[in-house]
Amino acid sequence: MRKILMKYYSILIILLTVFTLNSQAQNERKFVREGNSLFEQALSDTTKLDTTTFSLSETAYRKALDKRPDDLKWKFNLGDAMYKQMKFEEAAAGFGEIADKSSDKIEKARSYHNMGNSLLMQNKLDESIEAYKDALRNNPNDLDSKYNLVYAMNLKKKQEQQQKQNKDQNKDQDKDNKDQNKDQNKDQQQNQDQNKDQNKDQQDQQQKQDQNKQNQDQDQNKQQQQQPQQQKISKENAERLLQALQNDEEKIQEKVKKAKAAKAKQRQTDKDW
């Protein structure tokens, strides 16, 4: 009787365990179904990007992954929900993790494809090109990855051409600026030389004026010095000159006297005769 009861209890424990596991699995799937429903609901609105509903689907997927964190399919759904919310960096990391852990080539190809899209939206062209190549390595027939790879490569080529064009334009602009600065410096130098010549001419003219003035002053000083010398007579010369004049005057008076005496004598002679 006791053995029968123990066996009965063992069977009951097993049934309870299975029931609990089934209940937990149902709860996990419930969250996944809820997340899928919200995701489809958000996709149905084509007039706008319903980030709010996508966010709710992300929350539901995370609740499911809390119970089963290694489920790659649920992680893939989570990555899609984050991508739709424009959380491109988180989505790329999630898809990369799935690609690394998955052993199924088709699943790896899908993960690399979505990873490439997430990187492309971040303008990480080189990384997105490599992701698309990895997708094609796992599934060479993936036309979407082929198309996106060509698109990313063309976009990179255009950006490189634009960068080169901008670089050439900047180079030409720098050359024009240098030429303009060179011309401006040349004009400034010419102006400086012209001003220098003008200043030199002014200095020469001023020096010439100063020299003329100096010469005039010297001539005037010379004339002023010569005039007193021409008017000045020494005392000895003056006395000599006065003596000579006096002697001449005495001689003249003596001649006058003689002339008068001779004339008087002639008159007397005439009377007597």
CA distances from 85 to 54, 73, 91 (A): 7, 19, 10
Q: How many CB atoms lie within 10 A of CB 37?
A: 14
Mean pLDDT of the chain: 77
Under the banding of pLDDT at 50, 70 and 90, the label for residue 7 is very low
Q: 3-class DSSP state for residue 150? A: helix
DSSP structural state of residue 68: -
Residue from 139, 82, 131, 130 nearest 107 by CA:
139
Contacts (Cβ under 8 Å, ≥6 apart) of 67: 24, 27, 28, 31
pLDDT over 50 at 18, yes or no: no
User: Would you state the pLDDT for residue 207?
Assistant: 77
Q: Assign domain 2-164 one CATH number from 3.40.920.10, 2.60.40.10, 3.30.70.1290, 1.25.40.10.
A: 1.25.40.10
Q: Is 71 in a helix, a strand, or coil?
A: coil
Which of 33-42, 51-60, 119-128, 182-191 tops mean pLDDT? 119-128
Separation between Cα atoms, residue 113 and residue 110, nearest integer Å = 5
Yes or no: say if 114 and 102 are a contact pair by the CB < 8 Å rule.
no
pLDDT in tens, 187-243: 788 778 777 777 777 777 777 777 777 767 666 655 544 443 434 455 666 666 666
pTM (predicted TM-score)? 0.56
Average pLDDT over residues 30-59: 84
